[in-house]
C-alpha cells in the first residue's frame, strides 16, 4: 500500500483534483486536454472543417458601402421656404432617417425598384407573389446594414453579397432610395399643399365674386358712386359743402364787419377808417387831401389867408373833401352789397348742405350694410390673394429648394470579399477547438464513474487508501490453476492501519465489500488475509458470498448457520497462505433457504464472537452492498469496512448509494483494477506512486 494524495476539503471541481487555485486549475485543464486529446482533435477537426466550408461560402461576402451626409447647412434660394422645414441636425433627427430606412416599407420599395424578387442572390421563396416579396424583403434585411457613423452627420449604407457588382448595385440603389424619399418628402408635400390650396382657391374665388357682386348691386340700387379713397360721391359732396359753408360764413362775417364799420363811420370815416377797409381811390384822395392841406397852411402863413393862391388851394381841398365823402358813400354801398351777397351765398350753401345731409341720413342703414358687404368682400379677397401667392411660391419652391441630404460617396465595386480566408480559417479553428472541448467536457460530465481519490472522498467523508492495478492471473495454466493475483505490495498502508495493535483491540473484524459483483472483493480479501498472516497475526477469512476461485468444500458457513453445528468443523487451514478459511457453504449451498436471514441472525453474531476469541484478525469477504440486504448487518459487525471501487467502472451514484446503505463506521476505500497509464491523465501523483509499488514488487519477485 502507498500513501494517497491528501486535500483539505476542496470545492467541487469538474476537472478532478485539487482546490480551484489558478495554478491547480491550469494543471487540471492541461490534464483534461491530454486525456481528451483524441476526442477534441476529432470533433474539432470535423466541426472546424465544416465551419470553414460554411464560412467560406456564407461569411466571405463582398461588402459595398455608400455614404450619405445630412448637411445641416441649408441654402436659401427663395425668401420663403417650403411647407416642410429642413431635416434637423440633432441625433434624433438623423437616427430617425436611419430607422425609417430599416423599416419593412422602405425595404419593400427597394425590392420593387431594383426588382430583387427576380435576383438569384436576394430573391426569396414563396408560393404567391406576396410571399415571394416578403421573403425577398427578409433576405435584403439580412444583407443590408444602415447605420449612423458615430455622432457625425454621415450615414453608411452597406450591402453584402457573393457578387461584388451586385453588392455595389444594391448599396447605391438603397442610398438613392433614401435620398429620393427625403427629397420627395419635402417637394411632394409642397406639391400636395399647392394642390390643396388650389381646391381652396376655387371656393374662395366664388365667395369673393359673390361678395363683390352683392356690394356692387347694393351700390347700384342706392345710386352710390365711389369718389375714391374709400368714400362715396355723396359723402364727398357733404364734406365739400360743409367746407364751403364754413368759408362762406367767414366771408359773410368779414363783409358784415366791414359794412358796419363804414356805416357807423359815416362822412367822418376818413380819419377813423382802418387801412384794410380803404380802397385805392380813397387812399389816393386822402393822400392828395393831406398834401393840399399842408400846402395851404404853408401858403396861408406866408401869403395870408386871403391870398388868391391860398384861396385856390382851399377850394381844391374842399373839392377833395367832397370826393372823399362820395367815395365813402360808394364804399359803404359796395360793402353792403358784398355783405348781402355773402349772406345769400351762405344761405344757399346751408340749404344745399341740409339737403345732402338729409339724403345721406336716408341712405344710412343701407350704407352700413354696404360697408359690411365691402369689408366682407375685402377680407375674402385678402385671403384669396394670400393663398394664391403662396400657391405660386410653392410651385416654384418645390423645384428650387436644394436637398439637405446627399450621397457623398457612391458604393464602389469591392476588390475582395470579407473576411479573408485566414480570418475564416482562424475562426473555424477556434470554433472547432471550442466544440471539441465542449464535447469532451460533456463526455466527462456525463461519465459518472469514479477515477480519483478526491471523487471518492466527496462521497461521504471516506478515506482513500490506494489504487490497485489490474493484475493478470499467475501460473503456467491460467484456466486450470485458479491462482489469486498477488496485490500485497499495494496493501501495505491499509494493512498497517487495521492491525489490532493500531486499533487498540484484541481482535479486529474487517468487512470487504463493493457496490456490485465482479469488482474484485474476494481477491482483495484473500490478499488482506495473506498479508496480515505474514505479520504473525492469526487470520480468519470468512466467505460471506460465493467465491469463484475456491472449490466447493464439503462443509461451510451456511451449514454452520443453518444447523448450528460446531464452527471448528467448518474451518479449513490454508497452509500455503498462512490463514484459516471459513468457506461460504457446502451441503447447504444449493439448498433453498433464506441466505439473508441466516446472514443477519443471532447465529452469525455468535459465530463471529467465538471467532474473535480464536483469531486476531477476521476478514469477511462480504456480498455487494447494492445486491445483498444483509451486507448492512455484516458491516455493523465489523470494526473496519474496506469498500472496493472498480476504477472507471463504478459510478459515483452507485458508490454513494452503497455507502449510504452500509452505514458503516470507519471505512477505507480502495480503487481496484486501475490503469496506471490512464490514471496519469487524471492524477499523475497517484499513478507515479502506483508505478513505484509495481517496480518494488517486481524487484522483490
The residue assigned the cell 446627399 is 406
- Given a cut of 70, whether residue 443 has pLDDT beyond it is yes
Helices of type H across 102-163: 104-114, 129-143
Question: Rounded to an integer, what distance in angstroms lies between the CA atom of residue 484 and that of residue 550?
Answer: 10
Cα separation, 184 vs 319, whole angstroms:
108
DSSP bridge partners of 144 = 159
**Which segment of 78-92, 304-318, 534-548, 552-566 scores lowest on mean pLDDT?**
78-92
pLDDT digits (tens, 9 = 90+) for 27-41: 888 888 888 888 889
**For residue 9, pLDDT beyond 50:** no
Would you say residue 480 has pLDDT above 50?
A: no
Give the pLDDT band of residue 157 (cuts 50, 70, 90). very high
What integer best gives the mean pLDDT of the chain? Answer: 78
d(CA 592, CA 583): 18
Helix or strand or coil: residue 496?
A: helix
Q: How far apart are CA 108 and CA 137, in angstroms?
A: 6
158-182 residue pLDDT tens: 998 888 898 999 999 999 998 888 8
Judged against a pLDDT cut of 70, whether residue 3 lies above it is answered with no
Spatial neighbors of 94 by CB under 8 A, at least 6 apart, are 70, 87, 88, 148, 153, 155
| CA dist., res. 299 & res. 307, Å (int) | 8
Share of the chain above pLDDT 90, in %: 10
What backbone phi and psi angles, to 5 degrees, belong to 672?
-115, 155
Question: Sorting pLDDT into bands at 50, 70 and 90, what band is 18?
Answer: very low
Q: How does pLDDT run across 371-404, given as a tens digit for each residue?
A: 677 777 778 778 877 777 776 766 665 554 556 7
Helical residues (DSSP H) of 363-420, grouped into ranges: 364-400
Q: What is the pLDDT of residue 602?
A: 78
Average confidence (pLDDT) over 95-102? 87
pLDDT digits (tens, 9 = 90+) for 606-634: 888 888 888 999 999 989 989 888 888 88
Residue that is written with C-alpha cell 475562426 in the block: 427
Report d(CA 596, CA 590) in Å as an integer.
14
Cell matching residue 18: 485539487
| pLDDT over 70 (residue 435) | yes
What nine digits make up the cell of 60?
466571405
Q: CA–CA distance from 415 to each of 57, 345, 410, 411, 412 (Å)?
A: 17, 108, 15, 12, 9
Domain at 491-676, CATH homologous superfamily: P-loop containing nucleotide triphosphate hydrolases (3.40.50.300)
Using DSSP, state whether 299 is helix, strand or coil: helix
Q: Is the pTM of this model over 0.85?
A: no
Measured CA to CA, the distance from residue 456 to residue 168 in angstroms comes to 65
Nearest Cα residue to 524 out of 507, 539, 536, 541: 541
Cell numbers placing 144? 443590408
**Contact between 581 and 618 (Cβ < 8 Å):** no
Amino acid at each position: 500500500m502507498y500513501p494517497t494524495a491528501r486535500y483539505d476539503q476542496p470545492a467541487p471541481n469538474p476537472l478532478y483534483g485539487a482546490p480551484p487555485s489558478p495554478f491547480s486549475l491550469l494543471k487540471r485543464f492541461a490534464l483534461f486536454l491530454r486525456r481528451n486529446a483524441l476526442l477534441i482533435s476529432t470533433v474539432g477537426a470535423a466541426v472546424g472543417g465544416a465551419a470553414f466550408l460554411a464560412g467560406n461560402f456564407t461569411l466571405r461576402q463582398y461588402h459595398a458601402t455608400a455614404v450619405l451626409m445630412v448637411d445641416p447647412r441649408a441654402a436659401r434660394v427663395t425668401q420663403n421656404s417650403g411647407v416642410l422645414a429642413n431635416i434637423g441636425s440633432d441625433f434624433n433627427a438623423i437616427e430617425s432617417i436611419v430607422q425609417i430606412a430599416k423599416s419593412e416599407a422602405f425595404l419593400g420599395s427597394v425590392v420593387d425598384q431594383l426588382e430583387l424578387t427576380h435576383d438569384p442572390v436576394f430573391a426569396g421563396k414563396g408560393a404567391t407573389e406576396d410571399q415571394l416579396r416578403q421573403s425577398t424583403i427578409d433576405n435584403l434585411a439580412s444583407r443590408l446594414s444602415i447605420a449612423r457613423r458615430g455622432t457625425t452627420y454621415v450615414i453608411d449604407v452597406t450591402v453584402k453579397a457573393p457578387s461584388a457588382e451586385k453588392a455595389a448595385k444594391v448599396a447605391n440603389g438603397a442610398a438613392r432610395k433614401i435620398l429620393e424619399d427625403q427629397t420627395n418628402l419635402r417637394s411632394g408635400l409642397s406639391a400636395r399643399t399647392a394642390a390643396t390650396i388650389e381646391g381652396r382657391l376655387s371656393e374662395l374665388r366664388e365667395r369673393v365674386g359673390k361678395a363683390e357682386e352683392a356690394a356692387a348691386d347694393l351700390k347700384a340700387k342706392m345710386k352710390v358712386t365711389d369718389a375714391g379713397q374709400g368714400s362715396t360721391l355723396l359723402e364727398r359732396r357733404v364734406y365739400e359743402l360743409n367746407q364751403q359753408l364754413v368759408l362762406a360764413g367767414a366771408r359773410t362775417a368779414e363783409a358784415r364787419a366791414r359794412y358796419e364799420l363804414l356805416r357807423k363811420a359815416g362822412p367822418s370815416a376818413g380819419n377813423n377808417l382802418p387801412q384794410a377797409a380803404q380802397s385805392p381811390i380813397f387812399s389816393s384822395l386822402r393822400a392828395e387831401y393831406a398834401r393840399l392841406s399842408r400846402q395851404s397852411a404853408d401858403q396861408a402863413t406866408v401869403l395870408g389867408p386871403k391870398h388868391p393862391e391860398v384861396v385856390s388851394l382851399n377850394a381844391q381841398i374842399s373839392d377833395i373833401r367832397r370826393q372823399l365823402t362820395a367815395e365813402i358813400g360808394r364804399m359803404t354801398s359796395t360793402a353792403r352789397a358784398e355783405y348781402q351777397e355773402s349772406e345769400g351765398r351762405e344761405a344757399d350753401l346751408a340749404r344745399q348742405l341740409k339737403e345732402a345731409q338729409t339724403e345721406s341720413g336716408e341712405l344710412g342703414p343701407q350704407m352700413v350694410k354696404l360697408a359690411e358687404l365691402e369689408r366682407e368682400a375685402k377680407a375674402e379677397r385678402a385671403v384669396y390673394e394670400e393663398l394664391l401667392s403662396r400657391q405660386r411660391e410653392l410651385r416654384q419652391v418645390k423645384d428650387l429648394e436644394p436637398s439637405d441630404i446627399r450621397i457623398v460617396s457612391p458604393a464602389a465595386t469591392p476588390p475582395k470579399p470579407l473576411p479573408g480566408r485566414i480570418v475564416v480559417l482562424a475562426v473555424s479553428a477556434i470554433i472547432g477547438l471550442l466544440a471539441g472541448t465542449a464535447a469532451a467536457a460533456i463526455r466527462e460530465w456525463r461519465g459518472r464513474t469514479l477515477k480519483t481519490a478526491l471523487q471518492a472522498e466527496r462521497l461521504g467523508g471516506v478515506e482513500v487508501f490506494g489504487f490497485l492495478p489490474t493484475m493478470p492471473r499467475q501460473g503456467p495454466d491460467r484456466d486450470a490453476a485458479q491462482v489469486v493475483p498477488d496485490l500485497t505490495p499495494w496493501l501495505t498502508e491499509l494493512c498497517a492501519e487495521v492491525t489490532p495493535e493500531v486499533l487498540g483491540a484484541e481482535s479486529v473484524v474487517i468487512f470487504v465489500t463493493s457496490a456490485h459483483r465482479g469488482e474484485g472483493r474476494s481477491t482483495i480479501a484473500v490478499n488482506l488475509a495473506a498479508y496480515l498472516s505474514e505479520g504473525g497475526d492469526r487470520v480468519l477469512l470468512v466467505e460471506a458470498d460465493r467465491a469463484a476461485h475456491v472449490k466447493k468444500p464439503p462443509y461451510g458457513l451456511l451449514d454452520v448457520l443453518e444447523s448450528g453445528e460446531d464452527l471448528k468443523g467448518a474451518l479449513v487451514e490454508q497452509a500455503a497462505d498462512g490463514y484459516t478459511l471459513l468457506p461460504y457453504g457446502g451441503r447447504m449451498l444449493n439448498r433453498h433457504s433464506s441466505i439473508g436471514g441466516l446472514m443477519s441472525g443471532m447465529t452469525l453474531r455468535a459465530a463471529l464472537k467465538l471467532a474473535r476469541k480464536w483469531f486476531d484478525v477476521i476478514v469477511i469477504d462480504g456480498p455487494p452492498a447494492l445486491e445483498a440486504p444483509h451486507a448492512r448487518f455484516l458491516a455493523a459487525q465489523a470494526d473496519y469496512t474496506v469498500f472496493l471501487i472498480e476504477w472507471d467502472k463504478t459510478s459515483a451514484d452507485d458508490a454513494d448509494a452503497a455507502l449510504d446503505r452500509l452505514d458503516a463506521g470507519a471505512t477505507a476505500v480502495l480503487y481496484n483494477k486501475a490503469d496506471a497509464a490512464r490514471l496519469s491523465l487524471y492524477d499523475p501523483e497517484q499513478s507515479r506512486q502506483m508505478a513505484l509499488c509495481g517496480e518494488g514488487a517486481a524487484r522483490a519477485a
